[in-house]
Amino acid sequence: MTVNPARKVLLEASGITKVFGTGAGQVMPLKGIDLKLYSGELTLLMGPSGSGKTTLLSILGCILSPTDGELTVAGQSTLGADAERLADIRRNHVGFVFQSYNLFPTMTARENVMLALDVRSKAVPDPNADAMRALDAVGLTHRAHAYPAKLSGGEKQRVAIARALAGSPSVILADEPTAALDAENGRTVMALLSEVAKDTSRAVLAVTHDHRTLPYADRIILIDDGRIESDERPNKSDNGGGTTQVHVSTGHLNLNGDNGNGTSESKAGNGASPAANTSATTAKPAANGQAKPAPTNGNTKPNNANRATGRRRKKVKHHV
Ligand SMILES: Nc1ncnc2c1ncn2[C@@H]1O[C@H](COP(=O)(O)OP(=O)(O)OP(=O)(O)O)[C@@H](O)[C@H]1O
Ligand SMILES: [Mg+2]
């Protein structure tokens, strides 16, 4: 698979290790991770339970500090950063999506999204308009005033994605975003993340055990026992995405005001992602939940990294 030569490195991690605890109770879930995330790409991070995925995501998102190693997010180095500086980088450059949505039950969808704008230090001239634009991006304008209890699981996750997008952070990190969703909603959410990743100023990394998400990946990283085992850019035939049709309106996901075309054209050109088949003319995704991906393998937790792609494990390819 070819990559867009205009892609930018939005996150760079080198030599990341993490140790929890001391003495006999000490664990080392990350043992030296080197990783770059690029604009315009949806990267999936897969691996067995306990392999370090959430720990890595937490470090990349500046929730946790690494024990060793260096991290740069949107050009901001975290080397020597204290907790406040880390929080500052996180608030301004990272958006999170969690399996359990993490919406405030006493706030409407719009208010939940606006909350994310509150924490970003960049002043937003019209937070309401920004929040509504983010909700529009996920096809939920009509649910803006609904409380989470009135939303379906898929809708809640789409609000969570809107919240992550609000304020246009450079890096979106999602931890098992489809794990609590049924097949159709899972596909809709992945189609959205795939669209979100087309923005030329944004990179998306999603941790997943869900084989249904594979057709949406531009890149798949397998991690095992705290080390990257493989790092590949699948071809359509590898992930079964060849016949995927994802009916998502691309026009609603550009929250930055740029044309958002560069990388997505490149992706369309290489044909490696289902996003390449995205229809820009269909209705908003989510509004009708029309995502029709390739045959799915179900949502299973692989017990080894090989199963994550159904392929033989390969030596790490540092192609990126
Ligand atoms: N705060 C902590 N203190 C001690 N050990 C921890 C802590 N957080 C994670 N660990 C350990 O680090 C290892 C990696 O955990 P992590 O949550 O990153 O795995 P994971 O790949 O996300 O697993 P899963 O797929 O089950 O979510 C595990 O052995 C876990 O028990
Ligand atoms: Mg985890």
For residue 73, how far is its CA from the centre of ligand 1 (angstroms)? 23
List the single range of 16-30, 206-220, 245-259, 272-286 with lowest mean pLDDT: 272-286
Residues near 299 by beta carbon (within 8 Å), at least 6 away in sequence: 178, 179, 186, 209, 210, 211, 212
pLDDT value at position 125?
Answer: 82
Ligand 1 neighbourhood includes 289 CB (under 6 angstroms)? no
Write down the pLDDT at residue 119: 80
Percentage helix, strand, coil, to 5, in the chain?
Answer: 35, 20, 40
Pairwise CA distance, residues 137 & 286, whole Å:
9
Percent of the chain residues topping a pLDDT of 90? 62
Lowest mean pLDDT among 46-60, 194-208, 285-299: 285-299
The predicted model gives 292-297 an average pLDDT of: 36
Q: Is the shortest distance between the CB of 6 and ligand 1 below 6 Å? A: no
State the alpha helices, DSSP H only, in 166-243. Answer: 183-196, 236-239
Look at residue 261 and tell me whether its pLDDT is greater than 60. no
pLDDT value, residue 314: 42
Query: What is the reported pLDDT for 208?
Result: 94
Average of per-residue pLDDT values in the chain:
78
Domains within the chain, CATH numbers bracketed: 9-296 (3.40.50.300)
Q: What does pTM read for this prediction?
A: 0.78
**For residue 126, what pLDDT is reported?**
87
How far lies 303's CA from each of 53, 307, 313, in Å?
A: 14, 7, 13
- Reported as a single tens digit per residue, the pLDDT across 144-168 is 999 999 999 999 999 999 999 998 8
Retrieve residue 88's tokens: 């500052």
Residue nearest to atom 29 of ligand 1 (CA): 50
Query: What percent of the chain clears pLDDT 70, i.e. is strictly above it?
Result: 72
Q: Could you give the CA distance from residue 67 to residue 283 in angstroms, rounded to a whole number?
A: 46
pLDDT higher than 50, residue 79: yes
**What mean pLDDT comes out for the span 188-195?**
93
Handedness of CA 200, 206, 210, 214 (dihedral sign): positive
Which residue is listed with tokens 């901001």? 76
What is the structure's pLDDT at 231? 96
Query: Going by CA atoms, what residue is nearest to atom 8 of ligand 1?
Result: 55
179 pLDDT above the threshold of 60? yes
Which two tokens mark 80? Answer: 């020597």
